[in-house]
Structure 1
Amino acid sequence: MRHTNTPRTARRITGWLGGCALGLWLLAGAAQAQSLPVSVSASGNHAEAAITLPGLPGTPLAEVLLDFQDASGLSPSSLGVSAKLVSLSDADLLARLPDLDLTRLQTALPVLITIQPPRYGGLSFHGTGRAEIHTHALPYAAGSRLRLFKAPLGGAFYDITDEIAPGSVRARGTYGGFSQFLILADVRPTGLVIAAKVQRLRDRVDLLPWSERAGFDALLDDIEDALAIDDYAAALNATDGLRERAQTRAGVYLADQWRATRSHRNHAGELIAGAATLRFSIAFLRDHGP
């Protein structure tokens, strides 16, 4: 008899079991800000966190993978990772979403992940980091509307997605800092999403030294002009130009370090992250329409 319990099949079964277990928790009303066990490992510029349900340590509900461009002091304790199940009717949380009707918590994964490094834990990094939330609780489909959202503690969530990949779902995004993450279904018109991302970049440019603003504003103008005539190639080229400009000027003309002490502004990292997620949305509009 041929064995079919390959590692991939085993992961699918594990994910299915985790989804069933989560469903039972929800039906039992246990999702009211229920803290979840988190196991964290870290080495060099990479860290991983496995999120499980209480009593099911071998059944990962989600995994968080963090990769840094240039980290210092990275350790499990310096990251400050926690996770909790949240209620789908939590008014305070829902008020933090961009659109109550069009950005939706997922019943299969109502998990809020917080990465809040302790102020004196010693963590710092230059440039950007990349986050991936991997889960078998959500199905993957081409053109998926699942997105990775990020927010400051207690603040408004915004889309940082730069890739949605299979396996079952791997939601990836680039960041210049932390702290809270959700996977949401975002059915807002893509044009509105792009406009919000452009505005967020303009707000970041307004924080730069005067001598640095004009070059970035000109690139943002080029992006909007290209999108106005559906010239996606030109819009993507200008977006890549913005990212490359931030990378080139990082560390000399633009601050590019994040520290747990919150004493530094990572302007370059935030611009690079903003360009990465903007590129994702422009390409999505080109490939899938509004």
Structure 2
Amino acid sequence: MPIRIPSKLPAHDVLKSEGVMVMSKGDAKKQDIRPLKIGLLNLMPQKIQTETQFARLIGATPLQIDLTLIRMTEHTSKTTSADHMEAFYKSFQEVKNEKFDGLIITGAPIEHLPYTDVTYWDELKEVMDWTQTNVHSTFGVCWGGMAMIYHFHDVDKYDLDAKAFGCFDHSVCDASSPYLRGFSDGLVMPVSRWTEIKEAEINAENDLNILISSDESGPCLVEDPKHRALYIFNHFEYDSGTLKQEYDRDVANGTPINVPCNYYPNDDPSQTPLNRWRSHAHLLYGNWINEIYQTTPFELSLIGQE
């Protein structure tokens, strides 16, 4: 939450340069409060696990969040009951006339497919274009982020020789970003993907800014101010045991897979993994929610007209 101090106080400029949320007296007087309307377009097969993971992160701030669960209109989930989907989800076509302060587009286990081969690609393109008129800030996660950066900037994904799988060291590239407020210079984040985005192609786009990157797994968090969007290619939202579930699943299915690196103590799958990313996960999503709160119009009808 922001701090209100006199603009001429020496600490004002120092704190602002460090990324601390500093609010002027005038801005504070103009500020109204209402619940933030956040949508979660859930493309993951394990819907309940995914919706819980993201709700945990965006619900950890003092702000009220009105969460709407969204599904692709024609796509039917094979792993989540129809009763659950009917009770808690709305199709995109049902919400397309509404406005949202924020939208999260999750990943999906379809990295091996060209985008145009995804059965719901046409509707997802409609969703991404719709965010420019009906959503104040959009957060694309893993494949969702890759799809957005491809759609808006034609930055493609590339197959990896082996799956990037485990907990990788990352570095902050832009400490002044409000989304990285409170971040350490270095951090650990779960990675689980068969594809990558090339740093050179991101840097070739003047409108994109890499905020977090890894020497081992490449660009991670990218800001796209023009489209009011963030793209993250890794998985801050993962629970402590999510990588273990993926590893155990592949082993049980006979799928060739390496032990997730830097995840189990001593890389020993018989031991209990430690969660070393939880604090930074809460920081990032809390900063995103707070940035929305600071900048979104009080009147929902004005979203998209900024």
Q: TM-score, normalised by structure 2?
A: 0.23
Structure having the higher strand fraction is 1
